[in-house]
Amino acid sequence: MSKLPKLILGRIGLGAVTLVVVSMLIFVGVELLPGDIAQQILGQSATAETVAAFRLELGLDQPAYVRYFNWVAGVLRGDFGHSLANGRDVAALLAPRLAKTLFLAGYAAVIAVPVALTLGVLVALFRGSLFDRATNVAALSAVSLPEFFVAYLLILFLAVKISLFPSLARLDDTATWGEALYNTFLPALTLILVVIAHMMRMTRAAIINVLASPYIEMARLKGMPPMKIILRHALPNALAPIINVVALNLAYLVVGVVVVEVVFAYPGLGQLLVDAVVKRDFPVVQAVGLFFAATYIVLNLVADVLSILANPRLRNGR
């Protein structure tokens, strides 16, 4: 087997092992939560016999490792169990929420990625200028502010003072595309402002690093225009770190929506996770946590593989 397939298979194997370890941590984390799950669900007025029967029904009488392997076996079959709050199948409960979370993440990504890459190229082209300094100050300010603070600022100015957009992101199945984009603009803008700064700064740093290469200096000496140097020579050779940072931020757009969804009462996976924690609905908590972990790991794996394919030094193992 050649070196490139070995590198890719190694990354895939590492991702699989990481996912197994994360699934264990999710299960152990739920196990370590204080209190008796059965008692919490049935209430303090439940008799000991009722609690014991309910524990038996939930399988809580079995050792933790047995329940873990039963849970993993069910996940591999596509069976995430049933919600303790309403008895519904967890997979059926997650499906509509997942679609809404992916819609919000995709909405933000379609705007954030091209804008961030364009800004990164421009600030690298005009490095040291007033535009570069102002953009960096704005980016650092955006990175420093937590998501909920950005969200509340947008609600204050764009929903309360100006009343341009709704403060609550209501999204139902009957809404048209235009209504959906309008109703979810504020949570999408919150995510855009959070991730765009990081991607822009990494793009700038990667391009500036490549611009110090000897072949770039040769292109300058030949009289090639600066924009052409960046687009034709610098940007293709800076793809590996840019791909990594874009993948990390795409993962964040899916995984890091919990706070944003809660602030805007958006009916996605993040809101479902918070509601499940409050209700101690642990099958739902485990399923959402595993999905978020799998999303993060898979996108990082894709970034690693694309970085290998984009970088000759990584392809050759040097």
Mean pLDDT per 10-residue interval, the chain, length 318 residues:
75 89 90 70 72 74 85 89 84 90 93 92 87 88 85 92 87 81 92 89 88 83 83 80 87 87 90 86 90 90 80 58
DSSP count for the chain of H helices, then E strands = 17, 0
pLDDT at site 145? 85
- List CB contacts of 70: < 8 A, sequence separation 6 or more: 59, 62
pLDDT at site 224? 85
The CATH superfamily label for domain 90-315 reads: MetI-like (1.10.3720.10)
Q: What's the Cα-to-Cα distance from 81 to each of 74, 75, 146, rounded to whole Å?
A: 7, 8, 34
* Type of residue at 16: A
Start and end residues for every CATH 1.10.3720.10 domain found in the chain? 90-315
Supply 27's token pair. Answer: 């299960």
- List CB contacts of 93: < 8 A, sequence separation 6 or more: 83, 272, 284
Q: What angle do CA 19, 206, 119 make, to 5 degrees?
A: 100
